[in-house]
Structures are given as structure tokens and as C-alpha cells.
Amino acid sequence: MIKVNENYEKLAGNYLFAEIAKRTKEYQAKNPDKKVIRLGIGDVTQPLAPSVVDGLAAGAKEMGSADTFMGYRSDEGYEFLREAIRKMDFLPRGVDIAIDEIFITTGAKEDTANFQELFSLDTKVAVPDPVYPVYVDANVMAGRTGKFVDGRYEGLVYLDCSKVNDFTPELPKEPVDLICLCFPNNPTGQVITKDQLKRWVDYARKNKAVILYDAAYEAYIRDPEIPRSIFEIDGAKEVAVEFRSLSKTAGFTGTRLGYTIVPKDAVAYDSDNKPVPLNKLWNRRQATKFNGVAYLIQKGAYEVFTEKGRAECNKIISYYMENAKIIGDGLKSIGIDFIGGTNSPYIWLKTPGGLSSWDFFDKLINEIQVVGTPGAGFGKCGEGYFRLTSFGKREDVISAVERIKTLKI
């Protein structure tokens, strides 16, 4: 008799976005004449940069000619793209990443979820709270946790992020093997300094642990002192893997391209305590389970790593960051406390009057028809907080802020 992977039955089910959609629909059905503005989604709204579109089109043309047609090729990605990434993302920051340490993929969600496959089932995993749910759910599916009790999975180590520690996780009090970090953070918008990140790298080296570093929002960092890559920290190549994505950098959420950096020095240990390079294992894993990103998508992505294409993408990022400033100024003017919005597209606000995340959601939609994301949906420590995103269209952001200013708190 066929049996299911019962780990899937442990999943708490992410009702967050379904519940938001349901409440929004109910409100709209009762109030058909009201215009609801959505500042909740973590998806971009601006179109692809012109250079990227030209790259995609050129790639499509090549696919239509027998001389330039591309079939199965290397599943790690084309060298022209990996070389461009090496030169634009890393060398200018003093980080030398070899092209065979760069793996092109369809996105960071896939890789942050899949990478845990390389580690043993008894790996002790630490995740921040609040957290991007993918890291947690992938480990639940793999069987590294117990049941979901009181909003948390047994067996995981949660790193509380709250006002007390400025929403930056502290080193765990018990030993852990795998640490998931994300900076600039989704959902809080918090960034990490080099000194703070160095403490994590030192911890991982001392404890023979590995850090999975999600840098999906690095392009939003404006402060030159804030590290854009964990590899800017000495020794990180021995203990860290970094996930990057063009989703938020270049509007690729629907086009799909990410890249994962697995340094050759990064290792995990076998049962004889022998170090095994993660680069070799990941290469083997991808060769079996992944067959590469479409040629034309890689051609479009290449343009993001040219001066012209990058300038076009930066203009779009500046548009979102201006949105973030407009939202932040609006919140300040009515005395709502928040972090984020300066090196990140996310704004993490304290719900006024001690309201719960969901009560604040209801208040916003009922009183001013603005939809955001209740912090409680990202973990226990998110209760009493609320996430707004700057990915909306400018006119919507301006109207939403005008409405927020009329909020009675």
C-alpha cells in the first residue's frame, strides 16, 4: 500500500495570503463602490527594463535559427552570464567568486527550499522569527521537525527578532548546524552590519555550522557600509552559501532567474568527520534534478549585468524606494513606529494602540480601504506588527498615504 510522506501533514498551512484575499473579497463585496489599495504583496509592478526585453527578444530569435539554436546545455548556467555576475556583483566589492561557484537557477525560492537536501536529517536548524516561510516549510517536508505546537515547530531553533534586539537575531544559546539568514530582511526590512554578520560567520566557523544567506534584496541597499554579500566577511567562504535573485533586482518574479553561490571552501562533514565540499554535492544534485534555465531568459538576465541594463534596473529600484519614503513619511506624520524602507522595499510597523496584527488589518481595510500583511503570518514574533511594501504604483502609494494620514489612532 502506498503511503504518503507524513511530514507534509505536519505543515501548518500558510493561510496568510488566502486569509488576506478572503477578507479583502468580503469587504469589497459589501462595499462595491470603495477602491481598495493593496500594499501587501511582495511582488513587483513595474515592467522589465528595455535592455532586458531586447536581450530576451535576441535570445528568442537565436532559438529560431538552426545555426544558433540551443538545446540541453550546462545545467549550472551559461558562462557568459556567470562571468558577468562575477564581474559586476562580486569583484567590485573585493570578493573573488569563481564562475564554477555560481549556479544559475529559476529563482531563490527554489534554491532556498532545495539546499537543505544536502544535509543530514538530524541537522539542527535555526530560523529567525519572523521569517520567510519557505526555509521552515522545506525543513518540515524533509522531516527535520516535530509537530506544529503553539505556532512553532518542535525541533527547530527559533531566533526571536523584536524591538529588544533591533530585529536582528542573536547567536543561539544551544548548538545549531544550519542557520538561515535573510538581509535585507523580508518581512522586517532590517539590514545587518558587517560587525553583526561577522559574529555569525565566526559562530559558524567555530561550530562547524553552515549559513544559508538569502540576499534577494541586496540591490535595495543604499548605505555603502552595509554588506551586500556575506562573502564580504572574512572567512565566510568556508561556511556560507548565498542566494540571489533577479526577481526584486530586475522585475523577474514572472520571468524567473536566480543564482546561488556555493564556494568550493564551504563544507559539511560525513560520519567520519571528513569534510565534504558543498559545491561538489550541489553540482551533483543539480545535475540530477535540474536541467537549466532557458537560454533566452539567460540572455535577458545578462543585460542586468551590463552598465546600461543595470542603470535601467536601478531607476526602477529608485522608484520603489521613493514609494518607501512616501509611506515612511506618512507613518511618521501620524506617529506610527516602524523600521525598514531605507535599504529595503519593506516597512515593518508597530500596530498602534496595541492592536493585534489581524485587528489592525481589519481596521485598515474598513476605515481607509488599504490592505497590508499582518505580521503574525510570519511567525509568533510578528504579532503586533504589520508589513507594508513599496512595490505599488506611485499613484496608489500616494492615495494610500493620504488615507493613512486620516486614520484615527
Cell numbers standing for residue 85: 555576475
Among 90, 103, 119, 132, binds ligand PLP (CB under 6 A): 132
Specify the DSSP class assigned to residue 73: -
Tell me if 389 contacts ligand PLP by CB under 6 A. Answer: no
Single residue of 45, 190, 247, 390 touching ligand PLP by CB under 6 A = 247
Asked if residue 45 binds ligand PLP (CB under 6 A), the reply is no
Q: Which of 82, 86, 109, 350 binds ligand PLP (CB under 6 A)?
A: 109
Residue 362 carries which side chain, given as an amino acid letter? D
Residue 103, strand partner residues = 260
Regarding 177 and contact with ligand PLP (CB under 6 A), the answer is: no
Instruction: State the residue number with the nearest CB to ligand PLP.
Output: 107
Is 355 strand, coil or helix? Answer: coil
Q: At what angle do helices 394-405 and 357-368 cross, to 10 degrees?
A: 100
Work out whether 253 is an interface residue with ligand PLP (CB under 6 A). Answer: yes
The piece of 106-114, 150-158, 293-301, 365-373 that touches ligand PLP (CB under 6 A) is 106-114
The residue type of 188 is T
For CA atoms 300, 303, 304, 310, the dihedral sign is: negative
Selected range binding ligand PLP among 218-226, 243-251, 263-271, 358-366, rule: CB under 6 A: 243-251
- Cβ atoms of 62 and 300 within 8 Å: the answer is no
Cβ proximity to ligand PLP, 302 vs 365, nearer residue: 302
Strand partners, 125: 178
Q: With CB under 6 A as the rule, give the number of residues binding ligand PLP.
A: 15
65: which residues sit within 8 A by CB, 6+ positions away? Answer: none
> Is residue 86 classed as helix, strand or coil in its secondary structure?
helix
Q: Are 261 and 231 in contact (CB under 8 A)?
A: yes
Candidates 201-209, 241-249, 302-310, 395-403: pick the segment binding ligand PLP (CB under 6 A). 241-249
Residue 186 lies near ligand PLP (rule: CB under 6 A): yes
Task: Closer to ligand PLP by CB, 317 or 401: give it.
Answer: 317
Window of 18-26, 103-111, 331-339, 349-357 that interacts with ligand PLP by CB under 6 A: 103-111
The set of long-range contacts for 318-322, using a CB threshold of 8 Å and a minimum separation of 24, is 319/46, 319/394, 320/44, 320/46, 320/220, 320/345, 320/390, 320/391, 321/220, 321/222, 321/345, 321/390, 322/394
Q: Segment contacting ligand PLP (CB under 6 A): 108-116, 220-228, 332-340, 367-375? A: 108-116
Q: Which member of 258, 263, 309, 384 binds ligand PLP (CB under 6 A)?
A: 258
Query: Minimal distance in Å, beta carbon 89 to ligand PLP?
Result: 15
**Closest separation in Å from C-beta 260 to ligand PLP:** 10
Are residues 281 and 270 in contact, defined by beta-carbon separation less than 8 angstroms?
A: no
Binding region for ligand PLP (CB under 6 A) out of 153-161, 246-254, 292-300, 401-409: 246-254
Residue 245 as a binder of ligand PLP (CB under 6 A): the answer is yes
Question: Please, which of residues 219-238 interact with ligand PLP by CB under 6 A?
Answer: none
Kind plus residue range of the DSSP H or E element containing 309: helix 307-333
Provide the 3-class DSSP secondary structure of residue 379.
Answer: coil
Q: Which residues bind ligand PLP (CB under 6 A)?
A: 42, 107-110, 132, 182, 186, 214, 216, 245, 247-248, 253, 258
